[in-house]
Amino acid sequence: MNINDDEFVLAPGVMATPTLPSISALTRPFWDAAAEGRYILPRCNACGRHFFRPEVACPHCFAVDWAWVSASGHGTLYSTRSCTRHPRPASLCRWCWPSSSSPKAPACGSNVVGSAHADLRIGMALQVRFEEVSRGIHLPRFEPRGGGGDARPS
C-alpha cells in the first residue's frame, strides 16, 4: 500500500514518537548540563578549537585530549530556511517536534524559536534556551537574543 504524508494519520490517542538523542557515556555530560540549563561544548586542549558533536578525538587535529567547557550559549544566525513540506508527517518530523505547526526554522542540530520566520535575519544575535521534550531530556533551541526566554529549564 502506498501512503503519502498527507494521508498519514495517527490513531486516536496515539502519541507520535520523536527522534530523541542517543545518550552515551561520551555525550552524557552535555545532556546533564542541558538539564541544568547550562550550555557546554568540547574544546581541544591541543589546538584550542571547539567542536560539536563530541567525538573521541578532535575533528580538527585528531588529538584525544579535550575537555567540556562552559559556553555562553550566544550565537549568530548564519543561514535560514523554512520547513513547510515535511519529509514525513509533521508530528514525526525531527526538526519540528514537538509541535506539528508549520513553518519551522531548522538550525544546525537545533531550531530557531520565538520568532516568526519572516522576522529572522542573517546576522541576528541568538541565545540558547532548553526545552524538556521528554523526561530528563532537554534540547537546546535558539531564540533571538533579548527575546525574554529563560535559558533555564522549567
Q: Would you state the pLDDT for residue 126? A: 94
Q: Would you state the pLDDT for residue 80? A: 78
Contact predicate 16/91, CB 8 Å: yes
Q: Would you state the pLDDT for residue 3? A: 46
48-81 burial, b for 16+ CB within 10 Å, e for fewer? eeebeebeeebeeeeeeebeeeebebebebeeee
Q: Would you state the pLDDT for residue 33? A: 97
pLDDT tens track of the chain, all 154 residues? 444 445 555 556 554 555 778 899 999 999 999 999 999 999 999 999 999 889 999 999 999 999 999 999 999 998 877 655 555 554 444 444 444 444 544 445 678 888 888 898 999 999 999 988 888 889 898 999 975 444 333 3
Q: Would you state the pLDDT for residue 117? A: 82
Q: Would you state the pLDDT for residue 92? A: 43
Q: Would you state the pLDDT for residue 100? A: 44
Locate 78 and state its grid cell: 548564519
Q: Would you state the pLDDT for residue 86? A: 52
- How many degrees, rounded to 5, is the angle at CA 40 between CA 36 and CA 43? 160
Q: Would you state the pLDDT for residue 113? A: 86
Q: Would you state the pLDDT for residue 84? A: 58
Task: Residue count of the chain, please give it.
Answer: 154
What is d(CA 104, CA 94) in angstroms, rounded to the nearest whole number? 11
